[in-house]
Chains A and B, each alone.
Chain A
Amino acid sequence: MQETYEPKILAFLCNWCAYAGADLAGVSRFQYPPSIRVIRTMCSGRVDPFYVVEGLQNGYDGVFVFG
């Protein structure tokens, strides 16, 4: 099988909404690609633009802020 490009994604999820949503996706067994790494923050407002740069410099292909 041909290897397809799968970008590695860093995700910042708000504890109260998006992180809870990601848990709910688990409970509901919604399947999604395993190339995402989640960091929980107490609010998406915590995400300093500098974290995004840090992510891109450290091997991630994309950064996703969800809240």
Chain B
Amino acid sequence: MESRENVHQLKKSSITKSVGSVLVVGGGIAGTQAALDLANSGFHVYLVEKSAAIGGGMAQLDKTFPTNDCSMCILSPKLVECGRHLNIQLITMADVEKVEGQAGRFTVAVRERPRYIDTEKCIACGICAEKCPKKVDDEFNCDLNKRKSAYVKYPQAVPLKYAIDPETCIYFKGKKGKCKACEKFCPADAVDFDQQDKVHTIEVGSIILAPGFQSFTPDVPPVYGYGTYPNVLTSMEFERILSAAGPYQGHLLRPSDQQTPKKIAWLQCVGSRDLLPGSHGYCSGVCCMYAIKEAVIAKEHAHDDLDTAIFYMDMRTYGKDFERYYERAKNEHGVRFVRARIHSIEPSAQNSDDLKLRYIDEDGTPYDEIFDLVVLSTGLEISDGVRKLSETCGIVLDEDGFAQTGCFSPVATSRPGIFTCGAFAGPKDIPYSVMEASAASAASAALLADARNSLTQPKTYTDEVAVTAQEPRIGVFVCHCGINIGSVVDVPAVRDYSKTLPHVVYVADNLFSCSEDTQHLIQEAINEHNLNRVVVAACTPRTHEPLFQETIREAGLNRYLFELANIRDQNSWVHQAEPQKATEKAKDLVRMAAAKVALQEPLDRLQVPLNHNALVIGGGVAGMSAALNLADQGFHTYLVEQKEELGGHALNIKRTWKDEDAGAHVTEIRRRVLDHVDIEVFTGAKLIDVIGFVGNFTSEVQTNNTVRELNHGVAILATGAESYQPQEYLYGQSERVTCWHDLEDLFTREPERLQQAEAVAFIQCVGSREPDRPYCSKICCTSSVQQAISLKTEKPDLDVYILYRDLRTYGQREELYRKARELGVLFFRYSLEEKPVVEQTTVDAKEKLQITVRDHVLGQPVRFQVDYLNLATAIIPKNSEELAQLFKVPLNEDKFFLEAHMKLRPVDFATDGVFVCGLAHYPKPIEESIAQAQAAAARAANVLAQEFVEVEPIVSEVDQDLCIGCGLCEASCPFGAIHLVKVAGQGYRAENISASCKACGVCAAACPQQAIDMIHFRDRQIVAAIQAGGAG
């Protein structure tokens, strides 16, 4: 015990010297998320971005899979929060030049290139760009249109400041001193041609590298005529065409003649899964999904019949809800999927811009098919600039140029104190990048725990304007949301109509109401027009209300003097074919919101004490990793495991796909958990009850016959999953048929079995991707391929067969697939309709299994005998329903826990203070489980690092003069948040307990005296909305 404490002391004393700030390099979604998580948990952040604005690749996307959310709409609030965060210092147009020092204290030189615009003075009026005579290609729109030399990166850019590009500016490139039109016309005197490079020397405790990817460019050597044929585009170019802020304002047009295409083809794996020079052997992991999304969205844009075809090798829809998205695209949207590698593309006729694709389908039939537009699904790669950055930082890259990380330390680079996240550490999608970003922030926070709050400052606001005595003066802001609303609803008509409503004194419409410039416009309008209430007609309050509330608060209005009219999610998106009625509905919704907001009152948020302990449920590798990180951050953590020992499924894994010894790592994690002074482990334990809310949970944990009550502020659910026990393929009838790791174990136990074996087969998708379990279990392809390699390596003359539907060795796992084929592993593809048949047989008096499968190349049934068959069975949720009930959190259709937002809140629940990680969320490999666990810890630390919990003041209010003390409210409240108290001389009267109140309003509806009202949802406010809505 003593030595353990000494270790802890030693660690503490060595890190008190560390610096409480972090450098984040790269302002894409990963860097932004990492910066926000750190800044919200007590660290100062420098966010360095090489271009003129943050946003990265995600800002260029039109929609995101699998929810079809508008990319800008979900990203923009994060960018705005980042831009205005007191503890985040944005340094744009900057590169890291030198890194010295070590974990806990680095000195970094950052060179900021001149913008030639004084950001303090620039008011983003755009006159410089308007007057600038020099037109150049707009790289944000993939050079599909022009911008000026004086430019803003994109309309919703953060920071919204113009820049002058010295590479093209006439003043810099032409005769010195000429032009200066921008300077002449700038009303703010912000143009400064004398700006020079500025070198910032900053001290930070750790560094997070999130420089992202670049899209593979198929021009040198030219692929499929890219660069020659105008209607061959990259996927990123197509994203820009779909985007409302893109070159064609969101109209689906092709470049050659700006006509609407009737037939579009997507070609998968361009630059990926390709060993030709200039291409990459790895799978880029995201292209299958984005191609499906682009096809679905293109169909939505086209209105008329649009034919879409995706040409692919393996359809890799391995993520959460991806398989469903694929099935819907196929069956509901009519996207065609053609398993074929396109041989060549040529013009359909001389002087034609249409394109002829030549390919051979699965049956071997050759086809020539003509398309108006071809989209190349280009992969993700690391740029030369990022390689240079890695060199500057002194970190090791892998063979593909990605940051080298281990499965058990997924966000740690080779240099201590430098972490990574996003596509820099391997190709990946947005949710996984966001998870890694939070994980990298957790790793930094653990390293710098003792320096927390040493360099941050609390946010202060100007005094609130007293509005209670004023007549309502409402401002209404109607959002186009790019074309999400504007293409259906007549936004200017709604704006003009709003002006006629009672108390409305100001109206405006905005392209994106959530962008940073609109926040300023709203604030200016509040000040200029003395607005005391604001209505934004845009998307849903469930995602965007906090952003606008913060905006009006900064302008001096109380947050609760705000109302959102949901004219997108519940209007333009669901009435796409009825623009006129949708416009009428939008007017009604604005009228209802205005009527309600006019009666809303300023409210103060309630502050409730916060318990700083954490509870982690599940002692597998995810739960242990979450607990370790929280404890390393200094939060006392309870870890509850149902089994008698910690470790979970990871104990069955021999080697990771990166060939690390899994057992040794799991044992080490377990030892660290058991030795940690801040972790209390309960094994053989079960959670039997939970009450409370964020910051104030009380749980009962039963071990043997004793029950212990634990108080905690947050909870992380990491209960894992289990494998499906199959009924098919003779499982349970022949001992030669095994599942998952059982075959490896058998050969380890009885090596002679392998020695005597002549052939082994694996069958994939057993129980996965079936009608009653329509999801991919994600890890099975890699596991079987890995096992096949190890068998082939140990015994080269063994025949190894893998029977699969789509081989999903996504990302850099593709190398394993290549290696397996090189070693002679035979792959047979089967379809859901024609599954392999397994029978028992005898060959030369030896017991065998006979497998019959239809070969996809020969088109004939093939029959072979094997000694053993291993089944890759589905990963299924385990007891998730019980836990979901206890914490009142949702499950998806497959009974995995359903996160608050699939893209940008991948470990949060809508219920505050509860988080999820590991297989309980969805099947995933170890490194993703650990990253997600650390992410959950980061998000939990965001709560625990605060002094108290702020809760919404939406609670019940009792008028004790009207109350007759009948007690119906107390009887009906499910949360014990209202009770009768004895009032001297009056008998019993109801009294509310604000901290426990969940705002449901059952008490108010039950009260026969109308003595109870719900603050912010008062009777008169709701009735005003009812009356306003009915009046139209």
Instruction: Type the 1/0 row for B918-959, where 1 means its CB is closer than 8 Å to any CB of A.
Output: 000000000000000000000000000000000000100000
Q: Which residues of chain B have C-beta atoms less than 8 A from A20's C-beta?
A: 542, 910
Give the shortest distance, in Å, between B598 (CB) and chain A (any CB): 15
Kindly state whether residue A4 has any CB partner on chain B within 8 Å.
no
Cβ 8 A contact of B574, one of A25, A37, A40, A54:
A25
Closest Cβ neighbor of B333 among chain A residues: A29
Contact (Cβ within 8 A) B575 A31: yes
CB distance from A20 to the nearest CB of B (A): 6
Partner pick for B1017 among A19, A27, A32, A41, CB 8 A cutoff: A41
Given A42-B999, A54-B1027, A55-B1030, is A26 in contact with B592 using a C-beta cutoff of 8 Å?
A: no
The one of B578, B1005, B1029 in contact with A37, judged by C-beta atoms closer than 8 angstroms, is B1029
One digit per residue, 1 when the CB lies within 8 angstroms of any chain A CB and 0 when it does not, for chain B 580-606 equals 011011001100100000000000000
Judge whether B592 and A23 touch: CB under 8 Å: no
B653 interfacial by beta-carbon distance below 8 Å? no
Interface membership of chain A positions 4-39, coded 1 if the CB is closer than 8 angstroms to chain B and 0 otherwise: 000010100001100110110111111111110111
Task: Tell whether, in the assembled complex, residue B573 and residue A39 are in contact, meaning their CB atoms are under 8 Å apart.
Answer: no
Given the interface pairs A37-B588, A37-B589, the reply to whether A10 lies near B574 with Cβ below 8 Å is no
The answer to whether A34 and B571 touch across the interface, beta carbons within 8 angstroms, is yes
Question: What 1/0 mask marks residues of chain B from 165 to 198 whose CB sits below 8 Å from any chain A CB?
Answer: 0000000000000000000000000000000000
Chain A min CB distance to B306 (Å): 15
Minimum Cβ distance to chain B for residue A49 (Å):
8
In the complex, the chain A residue whose C-beta lies closest to that of B1005 is: A48
Q: A41-B1022, A46-B1014 are in contact. Are A22 and B569 (CB under 8 A)?
A: yes
The 8 A CB mask of B1004-1032 against A (1 = contact, 0 = none) is 11000000001001010011011101111
User: Which interface residue of B578, B998, B1014, B1030 has the most chain A CB atoms within 10 A?
Assistant: B1030
**Chain A contact patch, size range:** 35 or more
* Residues of B close to A39: CB separation below 8 A: 592, 1022, 1025-1026, 1029
Report the minimal beta-carbon distance from B312 to chain A, rounded to whole angstroms.
24
Nearest CB on A from B994, distance (A): 14
CB of A22 within 8 A of CB of B570, answer: yes
* CB-based contact B1027/A19 at 8 Å: no
Chain B interface size, as a band, is 35 or more
With a CB–CB cut-off of 8 A, which chain B residues contact A27? Answer: 67-69, 569, 573
A22 and B1019 alpha carbons, distance in the complex (Å): 23
Chain B residues with CB under 8 Å of A16's CB are 910
Asked if B996 is at the interface of the complex by the 8 Å CB criterion, the answer is no
State in angstroms the CA–CA spacing of A67 and B794 once bound together: 59
Are B1001 and A41 in contact, CB atoms less than 8 angstroms apart? yes
Complexed CA–CA distance, A23 and B901 (Å): 12
Smallest beta-carbon distance A8→chain B, Å:
8
B1005 touches A46 (CB 8 A): yes
Q: In the bound complex, do residue A31 and residue B576 qualify as a contact, i.e. CB atoms below 8 Å apart?
A: yes
Q: Mark B549-591, 1 if CB is under 8 A from A, else 0.
A: 0000000000000000010111101111110011011001100
B1000 in the interface (beta carbon within 8 A): yes
CB of A60 closer than 8 Å to a CB of B = yes
Residue of B570, B585, B1032 near A26 (CB, 8 A) is B570
Query: A34 and B578: CB pair below 8 A?
Result: yes
A23 to chain B, nearest CB (A): 4
Residues of B close to A28: CB separation below 8 A:
68
Task: Decide: B573 and A26 in contact? CB cutoff 8 A.
Answer: yes
Query: Out of A8, A37, A51, which one reaches B592, CB within 8 Å?
Result: A37
Within 8 A of A (CB), among B45-96: 67-69
- Give the most central of A19, A26, A31, A55: most B CB within 10 Å: A26
Contact pattern, B 515-536, Cβ under 8 Å of A = 1, otherwise 0: 0000000000000000000000
Contact of A45 with B1000 at beta-carbon distance under 8 Å, contacts A26-B568, A39-B1029 already known: yes
A23 and B68 contact, Cβ closer than 8 Å, known pairs A43-B1002, A58-B1030: no
Pair B582/A34 contact, Cβ less than 8 Å: yes
- Known contacts A27-B573, A55-B1030; is A42 also within 8 Å of B1002 by CB? no
Q: Are A45 and B1030 in contact (CB under 8 A)?
A: no
| Residue of A whose beta carbon sits closest to that of B1002 | A45
Given A20-B542, A37-B585, A51-B1026 in contact, is the A29-B576 Cβ separation under 8 Å?
yes
Smallest CB–CB gap between A60 and chain B, Å? 5
Q: Is the CB of A23 within 8 A of B910?
A: no
Complex CA–CA separation, A8 to B1029 (angstroms): 10
A-B contact pairs, 18 of them (CB 8 A): A16-B910, A23-B540, A23-B542, A27-B569, A29-B576, A30-B574, A32-B574, A34-B582, A34-B585, A37-B592, A37-B1030, A38-B589, A43-B998, A43-B1000, A43-B1002, A46-B1000, A46-B1022, A60-B1030
Instruction: Known pairs A26-B569, A27-B69, A46-B1017; list 15 more (Cβ under 8 Å).
Output: A22-B570, A23-B570, A25-B570, A26-B568, A28-B68, A31-B574, A34-B571, A35-B581, A37-B588, A42-B1001, A46-B1005, A51-B1023, A54-B1023, A58-B1026, A58-B1027
The 8 closest A-B pairs by CB, nearest first: A46-B1001, A58-B1030, A43-B1000, A26-B569, A59-B1030, A45-B1002, A26-B573, A34-B581
Residues of A within 8 A of B (CB): 8, 10, 15-16, 19-20, 22-23, 25-35, 37-43, 45-49, 51, 54-55, 58-60
